[in-house]
Amino acid sequence: MWSGTWVAERLGVSLEDSEGGPRLTELLGLALRRNPKRAHLLVSQVLGKHVPQSPRTVYAAGYGLGERVRALLGEDGAAAAVVLGYAETATGLGHCVADGLGSAPYLHSTRRPVPGVEPAGGFEEAHSHATSHLLLPEDPQLLAGSGPLVLVDDEFSTGNTVLNTIRDLHARHPRPHYVVVALVDMRSPADRDRLTAFAAELGARVDLIALASGTVSLPDDVLTKGQALVEEHEALTEALPAAAQIQPAPPADAEPASPAEAGPVAPAGQIQPAPWAESGAVAPAEGVTAAGQNQAAPWAESRAVAPAEDVTAAGQIQPAPWAESEPVAPAQDISAAGQNQPLRRLRSGVRGGAPADGPQPVTRVELNWPSGVPDGGRHGFTPAHRARLEAALPELADRLTAALGTGPGTEPGPGTEPGPGRILVLGNEELMYAPLRLAKALEEAGAAREVRFSTTTRSPVLAVDDPGYAIRTRLVFPAHDAPADGPGDRYAYNVAGAGFDAVIAVVDSAGDTPELHAGLLTALAPHTGRVVLAVVPSYVPDPPATPDRQEPIMPEPLRGPAFSSYAPEDVGWLLQDFSDVELEAPTEEREEAIQAGGAHYAESLPVEYQPSPQYQELYQSALTASAARIARAVGTVTETVLAERSPSPVLVSLARAGTPVGVLMRRWAQTRYGLDLPHYAVSIVRGRGIDANALRWLAAHHDPADVVFVDGWTGKGAITRELRDALAEFEGFNPEIVVLADPGSCVDTYGTREDFLIPSACLNSTVSGLISRTVLRSDLVGPADFHGAKFYRELAGADVSVAFVDTVAAHFDEVADAVDEEVKELLAADRTPTWEGWAAVERISEEHGIHDVNLVKPGVGETTRVLLRRVPWKILAQRGAGPDLDHVRLLAEQRGVPVEEVDGLPYTCVGLIHPRFTRGATGADGKAVASK
């Protein structure tokens, strides 16, 4: 059944095809919305907005249109073209058109103002729910050229939006050629004539390309009747009894219901790709010359494709399996709290509902999005950006696949779970392209039996549970990205009741807010077995450099004693002081929020652990026993840096574990050679990258080639990779980190590769200048700010930071000869990283059923951090490990955490964070441990 039947029968609306293209009923359904300007809504089956669809089909529709534009313009015209998409609905479509065009940069309009970015234009979309569009290109000259401008929207109904756009841009930067692209062209003859006359008035050529064309036949009273119909069904919805609410899905082992009992199974995703979607063949183009003559363009020749399993021999889009099911109630409206408003029943047999014991916590995936690649086209997206994204997509898909399970058809083994059968990648309003590409990569990698893509929207549409209606269900939740037009409801259509085993919600970091978790993610949880959150960094361009605009004055580094207990010459902190900000939270609360996806670890601080007298004695004993060993490692790494990297390096330690090492390296160079090396501390955050403003400060004050990044030790090498990726966008910096100890074999410049106790890992701020771990939170750190940290002045009585450095430095002379011999050997040796630590962590993660390498912390230093700051599950210790683990054993005993001795461990020990933490799951006795 056509998904426009319900509206057509009640309002007398019909779609009339033009000759030569796919039938409009294959591409469009109909729905109703509460809109005083237009009651009906054309619902695309291939856009990926309201109807979940195969990402390959969505991408192919836009890419094929781009190929048609390239053929129309020729190679020279295509090389000079710029593509402009419309927010919010066509942001992803326009991006796909730009991909098909090949070498064109892409920009989409936006409804989100960005401070510091000057608009390069704007226009109104008269019939839209939210009308004002802004153009915010990072490059102010992007729209100033004379080459063809390609404007992309999902549909043309009247052409008013296109006229408004061209009128605004042509007044600023006239050009001779415009190409307008859409999935469907539904203009009336009068509207077509108006565009022809407009083109003649401009003296410009305007071409039109669409997949299909036709008209919408509307009765005179359609607006009045449509509004009355919406009110009628909304009133009926409110009157339905609670018994009509959606019932939870049955347990996974429940007997499948018969088709008659099952009711509707899935509102979306069953729309299968027709051959034109895969082939790139599109509907006829219509060219409009300056003189107003219509130039008919022939169809592109279709490339033959083998019939897919889900495409009929005739190439018709298949109806959803529920198309023959009985219609029930008129609508379904589901609140943000996940409560089902009285609308319709979903009987047993619906796959992919929440498990019997309730929804699972949100799984947050650190995407490792390529640094410097924009999240979309809001500020421009170049072919170079696309190439970098293409290269990164396999790894991004692997990270998502790991979060989902083992993949389709995989039998579960020890510590594994079967992969999902059906997954939905759900984008967010204007953020359509990034989630589409992620979904397509998952589909091509076979991450699930079936992958579908759609996005949330700000457009309110009536939901009616009828097989002849395009919007079967809707979820309602509050906006979560501080929109310029204020708070309001947002919607996800055809998701509830669709039988998705997992939903991957993709948002940009501007939308990663508490409202997201209380709203959209909470609304999704009852309707799927698993909710995964993937956050793409919001791209904010730097202000353009102009002669009359001075670069912002960067603050000078913070120094002791005003900030930190180190001497001012020991280190300059490229941070801002958050000492007066309340950032601490109990360890258990932080862990629960982090693992539930409600927070990033860098957004808060753990309560500072204050060591007991017994623990302090262990620290002093460890320092006495290992000071000479540490001094030797400090000398070795410093001499290697001086010999291989720079005779006058600028030491930049990664706050805060790297800072004591940077102070010691500086002290070695001063003691041995009289060098006064600059030393700074900067913030780097896993999943968020290095402080870009700190790098800009360094580049403005030093030669980037002299900068040497310093850390305390490597675990599995996550920060090593983070630094390398973050520095890809900054010229001149060497991304190779140097460390005191490299037990994970992740770097080629180190003091030792042994996993031994570095006493500075035993304590927190009291051995690191009384500075907290760094903080990165959007409400505290602006685009031009350094990351932040706290100075715990009140802990001065327990501070051993300077004493630690002095104790180690006292052994420099006695280890000098051994250092010289060791450095000679190292300089001649093959020090290529083997990454054996990473391999071990992956093995341990699977062996213990954790399935998340971020919860496995290898090495003495990382294990100590787990016990001090996180919620530990268990400690794996190398059998026979000696005094290096005395402090670990004591901390584990205090927290009720078992220590298991194992064989074949490449580290002295490994700490495992509790993989399914909720408060009450801490420690061996199952009780939460109070923060110290």
The pLDDT assigned to 531 comes to: 94
Which pLDDT tens digit goes with each residue over 719-768? 888 888 888 878 899 989 999 988 888 899 999 988 777 777 777 789 99
What does pLDDT average to over the chain? 78
Q: How confident is the model at residue 863 (pLDDT cuts 50, 70, 90)?
A: confident
Percent of the chain with pLDDT over 90: 38
Phi (first) and psi of residue 778, to 5 degrees: -65, -30
Report how far residue 404's alpha carbon sits from residue 399's, in angstroms, rounded to the nearest whole number: 9
Mean pLDDT along residues 382-387: 89
Mean pLDDT along residues 650-676: 93
Helix-helix angle 613-644:658-673, to 10 degrees? 60
Query: 90-99, 113-122, 297-306: which has the minimum mean pLDDT?
Result: 297-306
Host H or E run for residue 179? strand 177-185
Report how far residue 221's alpha carbon sits from residue 216's, in angstroms, rounded to the nearest whole number: 14
Whether 368 has a pLDDT exceeding 70, the answer reads: yes
Residues 541 and 120: beta-carbon distance below 8 Å: no
Give the list of residues 6+ apart from residue 796 with CB closer than 8 angstroms, or none.
Answer: 565, 770
Q: Which three-class secondary structure state does DSSP give residue 680?
A: strand
Whether 78 has a pLDDT exceeding 80, the answer reads: yes
Report which residue type is found at 48.
G
Residues 452 and 482: beta-carbon distance below 8 Å: no
Mean pLDDT along residues 185-191: 87
Which pLDDT tens digit goes with each residue over 417-473? 556 789 999 999 999 999 999 999 999 999 999 999 999 998 889 999 999 999 999
Report which residue type is found at 251.
P
Strand partners, 239: none
Q: How confident is the model at residue 138 (pLDDT cuts 50, 70, 90)?
A: confident
Mean pLDDT along residues 816-835: 92
Residues 491 and 464: beta-carbon distance below 8 Å: no
Percent of the chain with pLDDT over 70: 76
Report which residue type is found at 279.
S
Q: How many CB atoms lie within 10 A of CB 131?
A: 15
Residues 155 and 183: beta-carbon distance below 8 Å: yes
Q: How confident is the model at residue 131 (pLDDT cuts 50, 70, 90)?
A: very low
Whether 356 has a pLDDT exceeding 80, the answer reads: no
Whether 776 has a pLDDT exceeding 70, the answer reads: yes
DSSP one-letter string for 839-850: HHHHHHHHHTT-
Q: How far is CA 50 from the centre of its chain?
A: 21
Residues 270 and 321: beta-carbon distance below 8 Å: yes
Biggest alpha carbon–alpha carbon distance for the chain:
97
Q: How confident is the model at residue 253 (pLDDT cuts 50, 70, 90)?
A: very low
Residues 152 and 181: beta-carbon distance below 8 Å: yes
Range among 219-233, 774-788, 814-828 rated most confident: 814-828
Mean pLDDT along residues 358-363: 68
Torsion of CA 281, 282, 284, 288, to 10 degrees: -120
Closest CA to 308 of 321, 319, 318: 318
Q: How confident is the model at residue 332 (pLDDT cuts 50, 70, 90)?
A: very low
DSSP one-letter string for 322-369: GGGSPP-SS--EE-TTSPBPS-----TT-TT---TT-PPPPEEE---P
The pLDDT assigned to 583 comes to: 78
Q: In this structure, what token pair is assigned to residue 507?
A: 């948002």
Closest CA to 439 of 493, 378, 502: 502
Report how far residue 687's alpha carbon sits from residue 534's, in angstroms, rounded to the nearest whole number: 11
Strand partners, 711: 739
Give the list of residues 6+ apart from residue 171 with CB closer than 8 angstroms, or none.
Answer: none
Rg of the chain taking only CA atoms, in angstroms: 30
Helix-helix angle 91-101:433-445, to 10 degrees? 70
Report how far residue 696's alpha carbon sits from residue 248's, in angstroms, rounded to the nearest whole number: 53
The pLDDT assigned to 143 comes to: 85
The pLDDT assigned to 119 comes to: 66
Q: How many CB atoms lie within 10 A of CB 775?
A: 22
Helix-helix angle 801-809:658-673, to 10 degrees? 40
Closest CA to 131 of 37, 27, 17: 37
Closest CA to 762 of 614, 627, 864, 640: 864
Q: How many CB atoms lie within 10 A of CB 682?
A: 27
Whether 851 has a pLDDT exceeding 90, the answer reads: no
The pLDDT assigned to 453 comes to: 98
Whether 329 has a pLDDT exceeding 50, the answer reads: no
Whether 164 has a pLDDT exceeding 80, the answer reads: no
Report how far residue 790's alpha carbon sits from residue 868's, in angstroms, rounded to the nearest whole number: 18
Closest CA to 344 of 263, 439, 415: 263
Report how far residue 132's alpha carbon sits from residue 112's, in angstroms, rounded to the nearest whole number: 10
Q: How confident is the model at residue 306 (pLDDT cuts 50, 70, 90)?
A: very low
Which pLDDT tens digit goes with each residue over 19-32? 665 688 899 999 99
Report how far residue 324's alpha carbon sits from residue 317's, in angstroms, rounded to the nearest whole number: 15
Range among 136-150, 537-551, 632-646 rated most confident: 632-646
Specify the pTM. Answer: 0.55
The DSSP call for residue 518 is: I
Q: How confident is the model at residue 784 (pLDDT cuts 50, 70, 90)?
A: confident
Q: How confident is the model at residue 118 (pLDDT cuts 50, 70, 90)?
A: low
Residues 662 and 653: beta-carbon distance below 8 Å: yes
Q: How confident is the model at residue 74 (pLDDT cuts 50, 70, 90)?
A: very high
Query: 316-325, 560-569, 740-749: which has the minimum mean pLDDT?
Result: 316-325
The DSSP call for residue 285 is: E
Q: In this structure, what token pair is assigned to residue 398?
A: 């692997």
Query: 144-148, 305-309, 369-373, 772-776: which has the minimum mean pLDDT?
Result: 305-309
Please report where in the chains the tokens 């704007």 appear, as a residue: 122
Q: CA torsion sign, 136 to 139 to 143 to 144? A: positive
The pLDDT assigned to 220 comes to: 81
Report how far residue 916's alpha carbon sits from residue 514's, in angstroms, rounded to the nearest whole number: 21
